[in-house]
């Protein structure tokens, strides 16, 4: 995988101090820790209802010492922002193409040297949607890595890592459990997030 802000030596240390300070001053609490067996994992990013989710996610990742990559629509990687977005851990996704994103993502996780956490928002959009995409589930199952349930609750100003979840192969049953975990959380635009 490409070099990111999290693997740039001096910059990552300075940004961790900034992130911890900013989150504390603004009243946010960071909870949880990455389990040792989840150094390579897929992180669910929910609720995802605002552009503000990205900067807060980056700060929480610094606070928790994660090495994250995240998927974003290809349009935000256009000139002149492409190099910056990739340095922030972004991977462009062209929704119009029918390439095998699940297999490519799983192979990238397996091939990575050292820790790597791939963040995937199950809603696939910041807009209101009733149905969650299951790409995160299939990436984790294909790569044979756990899913970690990451969350951000703007109402209570808490963010962090919840429990680790190992896919059973029964997607429908597993999604019921995963959505039940996320039911109490409120995104920045709370009306746009549904888990039913």
Q: What is the per-residue pLDDT across 6-44, written as a single tens digit (0 to 9) for each?
A: 999 999 999 999 999 999 999 999 999 999 999 999 999
Q: Please state, as a whole number, how many other Cβ atoms lie within 10 Å of the Cβ of residue 77.
A: 18
Cα 61 from Cα 68, distance rounded (Å): 7
Give CA–CA dist 22/29, Å, rounded.
11
* 107 sits in which H/E element: helix 101-111
Distance CA 8, CA 23 (A): 21
Q: What is the pLDDT of residue 99?
A: 62
Q: Among 38-47, 94-103, 117-126, 152-161, whose mean pLDDT is lowest?
A: 94-103
Note whether 45 and 121 are within 8 A (CB). yes
Q: Rounded distance, CA 3 to CA 170, Å?
A: 35
- Max CA pair span of the chain: 44
Sequence-separated (6 or more) residues with CB below 8 Å from residue 168? 174
Its pTM stands at: 0.85
pLDDT digits (tens, 9 = 90+) for 123-145: 654 455 557 888 899 999 999 99
3-state secondary structure of 163: strand
């Amino acid at each position: 995988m490409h070099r990111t802000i999290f693997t740039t030596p001096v910059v990552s240390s300075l940004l961790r101090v900034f992130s911890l300070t900013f989150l504390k001053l603004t009243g946010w609490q960071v909870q949880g820790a990455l389990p040792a067996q989840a150094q390579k994992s897929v992180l669910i990013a929910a609720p995802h209802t605002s552009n503000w989710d990205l900067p807060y996610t980056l700060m929480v990742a610094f606070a928790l010492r994660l090495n994250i990559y995240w998927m974003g629509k290809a349009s935000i990687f256009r000139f002149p922002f492409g190099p910056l977005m990739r340095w922030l851990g972004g991977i462009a996704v062209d929704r119009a193409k029918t390439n095998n994103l699940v297999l490519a993502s799983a192979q990238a996780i397996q091939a990575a040297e050292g820790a790597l956490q791939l963040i995937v928002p199950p809603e696939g959009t910041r807009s209101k949607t009733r149905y969650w995409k299951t790409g995160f589930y299939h990436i984790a199952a294909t790569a044979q890595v756990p899913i970690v349930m990451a969350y951000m609750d703007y109402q209570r100003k808490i963010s962090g890592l919840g429990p680790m979840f190992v896919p059973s192969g029964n997607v429908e049953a597993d999604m019921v459990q995963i959505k039940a975990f996320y039911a109490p959380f409120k995104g920045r635009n709370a009306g746009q997030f549904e888990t039913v």
